[in-house]
């Protein structure tokens, strides 16, 4: 019998102060079931000769069971199994609500010191004098569509509750038109999504998360984008206490 499968995409965002934001997920399981949970950096096809700079970023996922309230959470496990860039957890989960908290150490997702190439041009006016998005912008649309797709927008084309590529382009063009061709607001959006002025994604790491359950259909919903906070800190400490090994200091 085939297992039931649910997938969700998300992203780590590096803030100016070095803090890392991430999506936070709610998982519902109607029945007790063996389960398999994985997370890995999302490999988005690039232009020929280019690669995804974020594929080397370390990722992990903490699984917490909700008890009486969303604030009352108990650590169930974390993705300690690893096969290349994929990190996973396998075990049995009881029926109920769980919270899935993505995590990265920040060792490989950090502020760069390399000089930024020339600023990319985002907009131009076509033969009819209408605003249009440049070729450079279109080249990156697959990446940006993946990032934007995590933020539903009812006013633009959607598919499976995610913004489509056309919806993404329409959204950006509307933003540029509202500002009468001034790209400043568009740059604010792009910089907040992890891009630099050369349209290189250097301050973000998209990821994909899979949940497989044998006896019931898992339902995963992205709830918010925020810092890890106290819940993630406690989960990290608990995981360290349960899985870590004490070693004597030299001297």
48 lies in some domain: yes
Q: What residue numbers bound the domain in which 59 lies? A: 4-111+205-243
pLDDT per position in the chain (251 positions), as tens? 589 999 998 999 998 888 999 989 999 999 999 999 999 999 887 766 677 888 999 999 999 999 988 888 999 999 999 999 999 999 999 999 999 999 999 888 887 767 777 888 988 888 888 888 888 887 765 565 555 555 555 566 666 556 666 777 777 788 778 877 788 888 888 888 888 888 888 899 999 999 999 999 999 998 888 888 788 888 888 887 777 665 555 65
pTM of the model: 0.82
What CATH number does residue 28 fall under? 2.60.120.380
Rounded CA gap, 71 and 48, in Å? 46
Residue 189 has what pLDDT? 82
For residues 13 and 103, state if they share a domain.
yes
Q: Which of 154, 171, 192 is the last residue of a domain?
A: 192
For residues 96 and 215, state if they share a domain.
yes
For residues 83 and 18, state if they share a domain.
yes
Residue 217 has what pLDDT? 96
Total count of domains within the chain: 2
80 lies in some domain: yes
Residue 63 has what pLDDT? 96
Residue 119 has what pLDDT? 87
Residue 72 has what pLDDT? 86
For residues 23 and 90, state if they share a domain.
yes
């Amino acid at each position: 019998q085939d297992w039931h499968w649910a997938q969700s995409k998300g992203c780590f965002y590096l803030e100016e102060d070095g803090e890392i934001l991430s999506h936070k997920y709610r998982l519902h399981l109607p029945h007790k079931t063996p389960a398999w949970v994985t997370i890995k950096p999302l490999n988005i096809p690039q232009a020929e000769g280019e690669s995804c700079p974020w594929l080397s970023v370390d990722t992990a996922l903490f699984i917490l069971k909700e008890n009486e309230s969303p604030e009352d959470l108990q650590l169930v496990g974390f993705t300690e199994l690893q096969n290349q860039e994929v990190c996973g957890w396998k075990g049995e989960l009881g029926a109920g609500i769980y919270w899935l908290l993505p995590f990265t150490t920040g060792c490989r997702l950090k502020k760069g010191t390399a000089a930024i190439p020339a600023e990319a041009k985002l907009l131009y006016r076509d033969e009819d004098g209408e605003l249009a998005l440049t070729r450079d912008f279109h080249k990156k649309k697959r990446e940006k569509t993946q990032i934007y797709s995590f933020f539903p927008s009812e006013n633009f084309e959607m598919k499976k509750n995610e913004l489509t590529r056309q919806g993404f382009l329409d959204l950006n063009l509307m933003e540029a038109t509202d500002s009468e061709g001034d790209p400043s607001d568009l740059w604010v959006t792009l910089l907040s999504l992890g891009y630099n002025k050369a349209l290189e994604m250097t301050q973000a790491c998209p990821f994909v998360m899979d949940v497989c359950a044998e006896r019931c259909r898992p339902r995963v919903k992205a709830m918010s984008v925020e810092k890890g906070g106290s819940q993630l800190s406690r989960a990290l400490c608990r995981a360290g206490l349960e899985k870590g090994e004490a070693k004597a200091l030299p001297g």
